[in-house]
Amino acid sequence: MLWVLLVAAGLWFVGRALGASVAARVAVLVMLLAAVLFVQLALPPENPLRAATGGSARAWAILLGAAGVAIAYVWGLRLLRRRVAPAGGMPPQPGVLSDSELDRYARHIVLREIGGPGQRRLKQARVLVVGAGGLGAPALLYLGAAGVGTLGVIDDDTVSVSNLQRQVIHTDARQGTAKVFSARATLAALNPHVAVRPYNRRLTDAIAADLFADYDLVLDGSDSFETRTLVNAATVAAGIPLISGAIAQWEGQLSLYDPARGGPCYACVFPEAPAPGLAPSCAEAGVVGALPGVIGSMMALEAVKLIAGAGAGLRGRLQLYDGLWGETRMVATRPRPGCPVCGAGQGRGASPDAVAGQGGG
């Protein structure tokens, strides 16, 4: 039997080397096996040729049965894949995960809180990140790696050497490059399945409404109170949730603002700009390099949870992190009655020790 299998393997690889089609090579193997079965069934048991080709038709029947099961499994698997994937080289349909994506996101898919349905929701999601600096850099990296299908990023700044201590999406070679284009280059190298939309401009009232209408979720990592209030007003008007983070020196904070679903908006918690000097920028007060990575990654985590429907998010809670002393606090937040941005609410805002307007790094 062994020499027959060796001959079959030789015929297969010789045919492949000569450029024969798979169908032609399969036909040759079928004829070889048919000849062997004829020998086993037609010749008497004592015939030397029968002994040389296995000596028993039963052994060949078992082998062919096992091969048939394996072939049926492979064909069945291919049929199932064709049913869930587009044919003919067409671009993947929204929400349909390719074989490459199934491998890429395997650690997500095995999580029962995400699974296949959650990963498909991530692929279909459209997330806008305001700012490609300290907070935007890690948030974009982890959202891109997680498979968020469409990522928008708006920023009018360029990469400088002072950014590189913490803004990990940029490189030394990209100094002077617009941050949004630098971010797009890194994300394209990280995950080719993500569409990145760069907006190399400052966010203004004139463009906010039209821009935000194209997205399901906004992450705000901007570095001024004015931009934060603008982002908040635009997300409230669009009825989409906002994940906002802020950092300064060794401390950071983040929350989910979502008045359309019962939570407060940013203005409910921080109705007024901080007094001069109370919330200095990162350039003025400094910031430890890893802190934006911590808060920005937590923003991305909250976004993944929200999109996939996993766990409990930060709607109605403000998380405060002190990196110097390794402490984390949670402050309850509620809609503020008479809020001029999101309308009348119930309850009260955050406690006064939650500082507004810290920078995005």
pLDDT tens digits along 106-130:
999 999 999 999 999 999 999 999 9
| 63 plus 133 within the same structural domain | no
| 190 plus 323 within the same structural domain | yes
Domain boundary among 28, 59, 84: 84
Q: Evaluate if residue 313 carries a pLDDT over 80.
A: yes
| 244 plus 151 within the same structural domain | yes
Bridge partners of residue 220, in order along the sequence: 130, 244
| 306 plus 189 within the same structural domain | yes
| 152 plus 247 within the same structural domain | yes
Number of domains in the chain: 2
- 351 within domain boundaries: no
- 108 within domain boundaries: no
| 174 plus 304 within the same structural domain | yes
pLDDT digits (tens, 9 = 90+) for 211-228: 999 999 999 999 889 999
- 112 within domain boundaries: no
| 279 plus 192 within the same structural domain | yes
- 224 within domain boundaries: yes
Q: Evaluate if residue 33 carries a pLDDT over 60.
A: yes
| 138 plus 262 within the same structural domain | yes
Domain boundary among 27, 56, 84: 84
- 203 within domain boundaries: yes
| 79 plus 144 within the same structural domain | no
Q: Evaluate if residue 87 carries a pLDDT over 60.
A: no
pLDDT given at position 94: 57
Q: Evaluate if residue 1 carries a pLDDT over 70.
A: no
Of 284 and 286, more confident: 286
| 131 plus 239 within the same structural domain | yes
Domain membership of residue 282 as a residue range: 125-332
pLDDT given at position 129: 98
> Which positions ≥6 away from 166 have C-beta within 8 Å?
134, 137, 287, 289, 290, 291, 292, 293, 361
Tokens found for residue 75: 């064909």
Strands 217-220 and 126-130: parallel
pLDDT given at position 353: 40
- 344 within domain boundaries: no
- Could you give the percent of the chain with pLDDT greater than 90? 63
Question: Which conformational region is residue 316 in: left (phi greater than 0), alpha (psi within -120 to 50 degrees), or beta?
Answer: left
CATH of the domain at 289: 3.40.50.720
| Chain centre distance of CA 55 | 58
Domain boundary among 84, 101, 133: 84
What average pLDDT does this structure show over 223-242?
95
> Which positions ≥6 away from 252 have C-beta within 8 Å?
245, 246, 291, 292, 294, 295, 320, 321, 323, 358
- 44 within domain boundaries: yes
Question: Which conformational region is residue 180 in: left (phi greater than 0), alpha (psi within -120 to 50 degrees), or beta?
Answer: alpha
- 104 within domain boundaries: no
Closest C-alpha to 179, from 191, 167, 188, 190: 167
In the block, tokens 């802020």 appear at: 246
